[in-house]
Every structure is written in structure tokens, then in C-alpha cells.
A and B are shown apart, each in its own frame.
Chain A
Amino acid sequence: MPNVTPNTAAIEPQKPKVAFFEFADCEGCQLCAIDLTPEQLLDLTAVIDIVEFREAFSEKADGSDSTGGDSHSGYDIAIIEGSITRDSDAERLKKIRAAAKIVIALGACAHIGGINALKNCQTKKEYTEEVYPTDPNKYETTTAKALDEIIKVDGFIPGCPIDTGEFIRVVKNIVLGKNPDIPTYPVCVECKKKENVCAYEKGMICLGPITRAGCGARCPSNGGYCFGCRGLIPEPNVNAQEDIMQKYNLSFEGMKDKFKLFLQRSKEVFPDAE
């Protein structure tokens, strides 16, 4: 997904109206977005007007009562969490797109399909029978997708979960009419700046070399490896990732498993995925 500069000229007045929506997700990224100090919360509400946010309050952007569905008017920016796992959700999403001047994908599920897309590695029959063995057809469900597979997305805030500081930076940049400014370089840059011992040197399979930075290499800095939750960098050399497996005598299958967790919707990794 390209880093598109939002058309902020279309927004007026200075304080844009922002609505939050969610689809298939855990709501954790929305929680991160408002995991602020009281001072930060006041600063945030001084630059944007949050008009709909089901997880935080019951008012609606269009003035309707809280029992209704999504508002389709009364906001400039839609910040959307979650992946799209039902045909009816795709229709919901299109209506929000039509009502918003700017759409921002919030978190890995909205940005790249997230963990929900793991189920795409199985057939629909397999996963519905596994989750609902007594009534597999009870709930509507289909292939889990990222928002930009359905609608045009103007910007994204990656990660599982998102980084609160990055959320603030993106909001600030949109208000200022700037590019969202999400790094295009990989996690290795941040690991090196922190002088971490490379996860490969510790015998781990790490997706840092092909994963978008911006998290401060959080997982490798705390004894782990990169899961790829922030999605791929713009031109990942996935073939070279295979060479690394050989160099460190690690299994290619093990790496493919790591790819499945967050990168199932990435064509560079799974070109044949539905």
C-alpha cells in the first residue's frame, strides 16, 4: 500500500472530525490510541474532534442514538480497526469510505489482515467445523482481508498492537497536512541502533530484515524475534530471506510458518493466496 499524502485541503474547519470504527479485531489498537496521559488527551482533543468511538463513548457522529449502526455523516476522518471477514462487513466498510474524506487503517488487522488472516491458510470447511463443530454454518464468514483489498485507504498505522506515539504522530501530521510518515526501512535498522545481538545469532527465525520498522525493534529488544506484525517493507527481498535460513541452518518451513502469522495477505510472500 503506497504512503499516500491525504488531501487535507478538503478538510475544514481546522479541527477535523474523527470517527473510529471496528471490524474483526480485539479492539486493542483503539485502546492504545487513547492510552494517553490526561495532558496528551487534552492536547489530542484540542487538535481533533472525536465524534464517534464506540469503545470510548456512546455519542454518534450523526447525532443518532447509540443503538444504531455506523454513522454515515458528520466526520472527516474515519480511523478503522479490524479486518474484513464477512461480505456484509465489506458493504459496511464501503459506506464508511463514501462518508469519509480520509480513511486510516488502524493496526495490523486493518492494515494487512492481521492474525485473523491465519484462518485463510485453511479451507472454510476446515475452520468453520473446527470453531463451531455443532453448527458450522451458523455464522457468516469468509476470507479475512485487509481494508485496502476492499476500499481505497489513505494511510495506515501499523502494528499488533499499534504504537501510541506513532498514532499521535500520524494524527498530528494529518492535521498539519503532512505525509503520515511511517518508516519504509526494516526493523534491522532499529535493532542495530540499539546494539541488539541479532536474533539469528541466537538461533531464532526473525522477520526483522523484511518487516517495516517504527516499533523501536520492540520484540528483538526484549529477547524475542520480529513476528512481522507491521507488514513488509516496500521492496522486501524475500528470496534473500531464504538464503539466511540456509546460512543459519534453519528450516525454510519454519520461516513459512512465521510468515503465516501476519503476512498471509502479502503477495510478495504468498503470491497464490486467494
Chain B
Amino acid sequence: MNENAEVLLISKSDLLAGIDKVLASHKVAALTTKEERTLYDFISASSEIELDYKPTVLSPKKFFFPQDEVIVEYTDDGKVTAKIDAEPMILFGIRPCDINGIKILDEAFADSNGDPNYLAKREKAVIIGMDCKAICDENAFCYKVKANYAHSGFDVMLQEQGDKYVVQAVTDKGREFMKNFNTTAGNQSDVEAFLNEKAEGFKDKTPFKDLDKLPEVMAANYNHKVWDEESSRCLSCGSCIMVCPTCYCFDVADELALSLKKGERIRRWDACMLSSFAEVAGNENFREDKKDRLHHRISRKFDYLMKKHGQSVCVGCGRCVRACLANISPKTIVEKITCDKGE
């Protein structure tokens, strides 16, 4: 957290009143419940916001990198139009695990030439974080990868303190946004009071043994028996990838209209846990076996990409654990490999 950030305080009612004010001119997405599902979605009033976190199936990744996205439109007279559908939006109440996830995607999609669709959407978004004081359920393991703390990747961070929130606006976008709210001045001791409470909430929750050395440890355990043990139950259903906040692989398909006179190029989420993912011409498959696919997925998080991003690319949100019908968990796999007895 930026120690020089101005600290403000806001009451719960003023926070919600401010959101209603913002809603008059901006699209706001927040944690909400619709038809028995808790999810991040656009809201029309602050009363729809769930302030207490409940795990969601998908992370806020979907707002910047949608499940299906038209990226090009074309017609048979040779006209080709790049499609970028980006509009200003506020993402409210994003938890540290997901902020860490967005930070990793920001780096991934800005790499090389950059991904114009992702970057345009991201550029126009204001991210209002909501800090956590404890793990949200027994499946989450954010503390194992130190993703229960977000140090960057947000514009404003809110920290609940009784009936008020400690507010830190750390970017120009965040400071501008906070002008919509009725706040009072706070100081660093308010932040510290929250952090003490948070430390208490995560007491005895220790990170993976040798967290920083995981890339080497994973590489050295390519043939560990855990890969056979865990993958034998895998359904290859792809659920773990679909719900992951840091998976960003996609497939691109051309959908020609039935008239054959116009078409769309669409990108869709793809998943390395699906058998078709590494299939190439001639029916050759680079990762034919479930074991190879599980090894690849987990190694992306704790080895290959961890080296690139300098932090675990699994943020421990627990979504894949909740989604897996076969009880396969990255936490269990890493603990078995590092002989970590867990907490």
C-alpha cells in the first residue's frame, strides 16, 4: 500500500449514497445477488451491493476479458473493422486476491504489442478495492501465496472499520472518483488499526514453505507422484480454468453469417485442461494425457509464469477448488510437492 496516500474516512451510508450519485453518470459493477447467484455484475442502485464477500463463480476478469468477444467484423466487399467495445466503468468492492489477479492480467495483456481490447477496457475502469480481514471460506488459500494483501492494481482501497470505512485513494483516477463522496479526514493510524485486525484474522495462516523458490521446486518435481494421484480423478471438464482469475488463454474463430456475405472474428476463453487445447493438425496432441494437462496448468501458476511476473500467478482465491467436482486443489498439490503439512 502507498504509505503517502491520503487517508479518508467514510460512513457506510455515505459510501452507498455516493455510489448512487456515481450511478447517475457511470456504469458500476459490484458484488450482487441475482437469481440465487452471487456474482459481480452491473447494478442500478447501491442497495443491490453485497458488502460482505461471498465467493463468486467468475472473477471480475470477465469485464476486461469477456467470455466471448467480437474483435473484428468483415464484409465480402473487403471492409474489415476492428471492434473495441470499451466504456467507462467502476468496479466496486474488488477483493485483494482478484486485484492481484487483475495486476497479473495487466502485465500479461500489456506484454509485447499489447492487447488493444483488454487495455482499452482496463484503461477506462476505476477499481475500488475492498480489503479482507479473514479468509472468505475453507477453500480460499490467498494467504498461501500472500495474495491476501494487494499492494497495487487498484485506484481506491476500502477497509471496513465497524460502521465506517478507511479510504485510501492511490491514483489520480481514484482521487477524482472520491470527490463524489462525503468523507472526513483520517490518518495512518486508522489504516494501522485495520491492518492489526487483519493480521489477527490471518494469524496462523502461513504462506507455502519456500514460496519464493516454488519455480525451482516445481521444476525439480516434474515426475512427482502427485501428478498421477491428482490427475486420475480429473474429469477434464475445464471448470478450473473457466473460473480462474489469471488464466487468459483464448481461441479465435471466424463466424461467417449464413448469407456468406459478412462475418465476425470472435475470441473465446479456452482452457489448457481440455483435451482439444493442444491438438494440432493431423490429430497430434502435445498434452494428450490428463496428467500432462494438470502438470501444465499448475506449472503455469507456480513455475513458468511465476518467474515472469515475480509472484505466484495463482492468487489462492479458491474458485477452482470450489468448482472442481473431483476435489483437485493447487494448494494440496503444492503442499505435497513441498512436503508442507499445511496449516
Spell out A's residues near B (CB within 8 Å): 40, 43-44, 46-47, 168-169, 171-172, 175-176, 181, 184-186, 188-189, 191-193, 195-198, 200, 208-210, 233-237, 240-241, 243-244, 247
Q: Is the CB of B274 within 8 A of A240?
A: no
Contact of A196 among B57, B237, B259 (CB under 8 A): B57
Chain B residues within 8 Å of A46, by CB: 259
Give chain B nearest CB distance to A186 CB in angstroms: 5
Chain A residues within 8 Å of B237, by CB: 185-186, 188-189, 208-209
Contact of B327 among A192, A235, A236, A247 (CB under 8 A): A247
Q: Is the CB of B323 within 8 A of A198?
A: yes
| Sample of 26 A–B contacts (CB below 8 Å) | A43-B259, A168-B258, A172-B260, A175-B260, A176-B256, A188-B235, A188-B239, A189-B237, A189-B239, A189-B274, A192-B57, A192-B58, A192-B239, A192-B243, A193-B242, A195-B37, A195-B56, A197-B36, A234-B275, A235-B275, A237-B236, A237-B290, A240-B326, A243-B326, A247-B325, A247-B327
Mark each residue of chain B from 179 to 195: 1 if its CB lies under 8 Å from any CB of chain A, else 0. Answer: 00000000000000000
Give chain A nearest CB distance to B235 CB in angstroms: 4
Q: Is the CB of A195 within 8 A of B39?
A: yes
Q: How far is the CA of A95 from the CA of B262 in the complex (A)?
A: 38
B257 at the interface (CB under 8 A from A): yes
Chain B residue, CB-CB nearest to A238: B235
Q: Quick one: given A40-B258, A172-B260, A184-B274, are A189 and B238 in contact (CB under 8 Å)?
A: yes
Give chain B nearest CB distance to A188 CB in angstroms: 4
Mark each residue of chain B from 209 to 244: 1 if its CB lies under 8 Å from any CB of chain A, else 0. Answer: 000000000000000000000001111111100110
B13 at the interface (CB under 8 A from A): no
Q: Quick one: given A168-B258, A172-B260, A192-B57, are A240 and B234 in contact (CB under 8 Å)?
A: yes
Q: How far is the CA of A46 from the CA of B57 in the complex (A)?
A: 43
Chain A residues within 8 Å of B327, by CB: 247
Q: Is the CB of A185 within 8 A of B238?
A: yes
Q: Quick one: given A168-B258, A172-B260, are A195 and B58 in contact (CB under 8 Å)?
A: yes
Chain B residues within 8 Å of A234, by CB: 275
Give chain A nearest CB distance to B328 CB in angstroms: 10
Chain B residues within 8 Å of A210, by CB: 235
Q: How far is the CA of A174 from the CA of B233 in the complex (A)?
A: 37
Chain B residues within 8 Å of A168, by CB: 258
Q: Is the CB of A197 within 8 A of B257?
A: no
Mark each residue of chain B from 273 to 286: 1 if its CB lies under 8 Å from any CB of chain A, else 0. Answer: 01110000000000
Chain B residues within 8 Å of A195, by CB: 37, 39, 56-58
Give chain A nearest CB distance to B168 CB in angstroms: 30
Q: Is the CB of B235 within 8 A of A193?
A: no
B67 at the interface (CB under 8 A from A): yes
Give chain B nearest CB distance to A61 CB in angstroms: 22
Q: How far is the CA of A172 from the CA of B253 in the complex (A)?
A: 14
B269 at the interface (CB under 8 A from A): yes
B127 at the interface (CB under 8 A from A): no
Q: Is the CB of A47 within 8 A of B37?
A: no
Q: List B residues 242-276 near A (Cβ within 8 Å).
A: 242-243, 253, 255-260, 269, 271, 274-276
Chain A residues within 8 Å of B290, by CB: 237
Chain B residues within 8 Å of A193, by CB: 58, 67-68, 242, 269
Q: How far is the CA of A40 from the CA of B234 in the complex (A)?
A: 41
Q: Quick one: given A172-B256, A185-B274, A243-B326, are A196 and B235 in contact (CB under 8 Å)?
A: no
Q: How far is the CA of A44 from the CA of B160 in the complex (A)?
A: 59
Chain B residues within 8 Å of A233, by CB: 236, 275
Q: Is the CB of B235 within 8 A of A240?
A: yes
Q: Is the CB of B233 within 8 A of A243?
A: yes
9 interchain residue pairs of minimum CB distance:
A192-B242, A188-B237, A43-B258, A195-B57, A193-B67, A209-B235, A43-B259, A209-B237, A184-B276
Chain A residues within 8 Å of B253, by CB: 181
Q: Is the CB of B236 within 8 A of A235?
A: yes
Give chain B nearest CB distance to A200 CB in angstroms: 6
Q: How far is the CA of A243 from the CA of B58 in the complex (A)?
A: 25
Chain A residues within 8 Å of B56, by CB: 195
Contact of A192 among B259, B276, B323, B326 (CB under 8 A): B323
Q: How far is the CA of A141 from the CA of B235 in the complex (A)?
A: 37
Q: Is the CB of B275 within 8 A of A184?
A: yes
Give chain B nearest CB distance to A38 CB in angstroms: 13
Q: How far is the CA of A235 from the CA of B170 in the complex (A)?
A: 50
Q: Is the CB of B325 within 8 A of A244?
A: yes
Give chain A nearest CB distance to B71 CB in angstroms: 17
Contact of A43 among B57, B239, B257 (CB under 8 A): B257
